């Protein structure tokens, strides 16, 4: 019996959900592409009522999937910079259904669907009384000055290391081996 031809699949884009609620006034939704400092600044501005945010004694830090670690970092920085903060952590998971269809249209393969379990994290930070901007500790990060020739990293691969089976090195016993 001949092996069946391998069918390649591509994910079907689902339409955007209309039932996704916008972030509440006291929520900080962590994404995998945002910067930690921006999320920390947003949390501080909610606690202090600055930058056009409504002041609140409670901030909810929400994250899903790959951004969980970043949410933990943001909540820890907030808890160290704002005095008298209490933390409540809720872990959970959501089921996300994905559909795949054959990559080539003439294939007679069926659509495939699978359910992924995506972890979620909600950290609720609360203070007993309103936070004044002068009570917030400054960040202790040190900016590194730009050095000559210091450019931002560009994508790409690292150069490969020498392979063990590379060209032979010259030795005392065989000086002609390097040529």
- Domains of the chain plus CATH, in order, are 23-93+120-131 (3.30.110.20)
Output the pLDDT for position 177: 56
Output the pLDDT for position 30: 94
**Does residue 172 surpass a pLDDT of 90?**
no
**Does residue 166 surpass a pLDDT of 70?**
no
pLDDT tens for each residue of 92-112: 998 988 888 888 777 777 888
Q: How confident is the model at residue 1 (pLDDT cuts 50, 70, 90)?
A: very low
Q: Which residue has the higher pLDDT, 178 or 66?
A: 66
Output the pLDDT for position 158: 65
The length of the chain in residues reads 179
Mean pLDDT throughout 121-150?
A: 74
**Does residue 124 surpass a pLDDT of 90?**
yes
Output the pLDDT for position 39: 93
Q: Could you tell me the sign of the dihedral formed by the alpha carbons of 112, 113, 119, 120, in that order?
A: positive
Distance (Å, whole) CA 43 – CA 75:
9
**Does residue 27 surpass a pLDDT of 70?**
yes
Q: How confident is the model at residue 117 (pLDDT cuts 50, 70, 90)?
A: very high
**Does residue 83 surpass a pLDDT of 80?**
yes
Predicted TM-score (pTM) of this structure? 0.67
- Mean of pLDDT over the chain: 80
Output the pLDDT for position 112: 84
Burial 11-37, CB ≥16 within 10 A → b, else e: eeeeeeeeeeeeeeebbbbbeeeeeee
Q: Locate 125 and state its tokens.
A: 């930070």
SS3 32: coil
Mean pLDDT throughout 141-152?
A: 59
Distance (Å, whole) CA 99 – CA 9:
10
Output the pLDDT for position 131: 75
| Residue that is written with structure tokens 């909600």 in the block | 122
């Amino acid at each position: 019996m001949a092996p069946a031809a391998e069918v390649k699949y591509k994910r079907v884009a689902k339409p955007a959900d209309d039932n996704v609620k916008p972030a509440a006034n006291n929520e900080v939704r962590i994404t995998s592409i945002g910067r930690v400092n921006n999320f920390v600044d947003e949390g501080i501005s909610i606690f202090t009522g600055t930058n056009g945010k409504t002041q609140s004694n409670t901030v909810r830090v929400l994250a899903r999937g790959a951004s969980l670690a970043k949410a933990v970092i943001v909540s820890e920085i907030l808890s160290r910079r704002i005095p008298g903060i209490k933390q409540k952590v809720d872990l959970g998971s959501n089921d996300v259904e994905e559909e795949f269809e054959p990559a080539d249209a003439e294939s007679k393969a069926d659509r495939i669907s699978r359910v992924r379990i995506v972890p979620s994290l909600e950290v609720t930070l609360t203070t007993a009384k309103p936070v004044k901007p002068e009570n917030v500790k400054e960040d202790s990060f040190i900016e590194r000055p730009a050095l000559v020739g210091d450019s931002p990293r560009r994508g790409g691969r690292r150069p490969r290391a020498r392979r063990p089976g590379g060209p032979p090195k010259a030795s005392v016993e065989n000086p002609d081996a390097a040529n």
